[in-house]
Structure 1
Amino acid sequence: MFKDVIYLKKEDRISYLLDILSSNPSIHIHKLQQLIDSSVSTLRRDLIELETNGIIKRSFGLVTLLRKDNIEYTASFRSTQHPNEKRKICRLASDLIFDNDSVFIDSSTTNKYIIQNLTDREKVNVITNNIYIAMQGHNQKNIRVFLAGGFLRPYSETVLGSEALEYLSQFHPRLSLISCSSINENGVFMADIRQTHCKKK
């Protein structure tokens, strides 16, 4: 049983909920409350957020998991997951970017923290297919942004499609910062095949 979830940070409570739902894809809300030992109001708020992001469905007291591990969650939801770890990764990754450098930063909620670590660099060219990263770069005088055009995927802040692939193929940056959904002994995986095509470019 998961105890004292009500006192955990929001991202940790959500992770507990998803762990339980992965093992119990359809569970009554009262049972769920017992398992996590959370207040009704806290549980309701967390479930509303998950439902808004299309991850679960609530109906007649049942909570049903809709989104599996091989389906990509929305950018807004993924941004709430492990932000401190993502910031640390980006601080380390930013050391690989130099003055007058050229770098491709792909679309992910981890890479969104890269730009803020480049304030002391001179004239960095950033190529991306992520509108959030592009706007961050636009707001820094030392960053020149090249944003791919194409289909703006709903809820992901990501530009995809043949137009995006054609645009990205023009560039040959010194460095590419690429994210993925998972890694194991069989290789690197993404939830969306369209994302994979852009990363290969």
Structure 2
Amino acid sequence: MKRVAKKRRQEIVILLKTKVFMKVEELCSQLDASPATIRRDLVELEKAGLIKRVNGGAILPLADFQDQRETGAAGSSDPFLNHKRAIAQAAVSMVREGDTIFIDSGSTNNQIAELLVSFSNISIVTNSIEIAYKFIRKKDISVVICGGTIKEISPVESIVGPLAEMMISQFRGNLCFLGTSGIDLKHGITDPYLSAASIKAKMIENSSKVVLVTDHSKFGRVNKAFVATLDKIHHVITDSKAPDDTIAALNQLGISTTLVST
């Protein structure tokens, strides 16, 4: 019996390395085991430091992803970090108790999440493993991390795919904090990766208020994957170095803008 349990737990870890996040029900189906058995396995695996239990399922420990991120970022620094921190401060001022917030992966949204940790009685729906982990010890904040797969996208901690999109469709957000690597007056919001663009589009579709958070370096950029036209955005928070003509055009379109100083 112990040998069977050991093998099943090894298989759970292997499955998580493939899919990143799996619900208890999925593991039951894959391993032909009862929910009670899988939950006991997850408890033991978490005690051993091999997995982390979250939201009715499990993910791999953060260290498994941090090592990869830190290796890729070694020797580099973000020249726009101060801008992103200021943008994050402006963004969280819009949050109210009881809000359900969509927040996709990205460096600016990571800064927003750092500040949201001090809040209570809010719900976070994200496709970012890194962001989800920031709330792991917050009992008064509900966190939903999308199921799905990791593709060859950046950040590498992003969960994408049809399953993630389906999960997002089950929620309705008061707010959506959306990052971008490209905003252009003609081509709208774009992303280098189609899978990431699809996640962003689903978040926009299911949110009452969409807030684009981006530093000035992303203005005028056009990537291959289309996310949304500008009229889907309600508010843009950026820094004071953003091009004046673009900000004026956004205001003419009825899009509110906030310019932060650094």
TM-score range normalised by the length of the shorter chain: 0.5 to 0.7
What do the CA deviations read for 1:26-83 (whole angstroms, capped 9, x no partner)? xxxxxxxxxxxxxxxxxxxxxxxxxx75xxxxxxxxxxxxxxxxxxxxx889973411
Amino acid at match of 1:113: Q
Match of 1:108 in 2: 106
C-alpha spacing 1:134/1:120, structure 2 compared with 1 (3 Å): closer
Gaps of 5+ in 2: 1-70, 203-262
Which segment drifts farther, 108-117 or 118-127?
Answer: 118-127
How do 1:151-166 and structure 2 match up within 5 A?
151-154=149-152, 156-166=156-166
C-alpha distance in 2 between matches for 1:173 and 1:80: 30
How do 1:75-90 and structure 2 match up within 5 A?
80-90=78-88
C-alpha distance in 1 between matches for 2:98 and 2:143: 13
**1:196 has 2:162 as partner:** no
Q: Does the Cα contact within 8 Å between 1:104 and 1:126 map onto a contact in 2?
A: yes
Match of 1:180 in 2: 180
C-alpha distance in 2 between matches for 1:168 and 1:105: 11
Match of 1:27 in 2: none
**1:143 has 2:141 as partner:** yes
How big is the shift at 1:92?
A: 0.5
C-alpha spacing 1:76/1:126, structure 2 compared with 1 (3 Å): farther
Identity of aligned residues (%): 30
How do 1:1-201 and structure 2 match up within 5 A?
53=72, 80-154=78-152, 156-186=156-186, 187-201=188-202
C-alpha distance in 1 between matches for 2:175 and 2:97: 13
C-alpha distance in 2 between matches for 1:138 and 1:78: 28
How big is the shift at 1:137?
A: 1.6
Amino acid at match of 1:179: G
Secondary structure at the counterpart of residue 194 of structure 1: helix
C-alpha distance in 2 between matches for 1:130 and 1:82: 20
Q: Does the Cα contact within 8 Å between 1:138 and 1:144 map onto a contact in 2?
A: no
Q: Does the Cα contact within 8 Å between 2:117 and 2:135 map onto a contact in 1?
A: no
Amino acid at match of 1:183: I
Which segment drifts farther, 174-183 or 75-84?
Answer: 75-84
TM-score, normalised on structure 1?
0.58
C-alpha distance in 2 between matches for 1:89 and 1:200: 22
Secondary structure at the counterpart of residue 133 of structure 1: helix
Q: CA RMSD in A?
A: 2.3
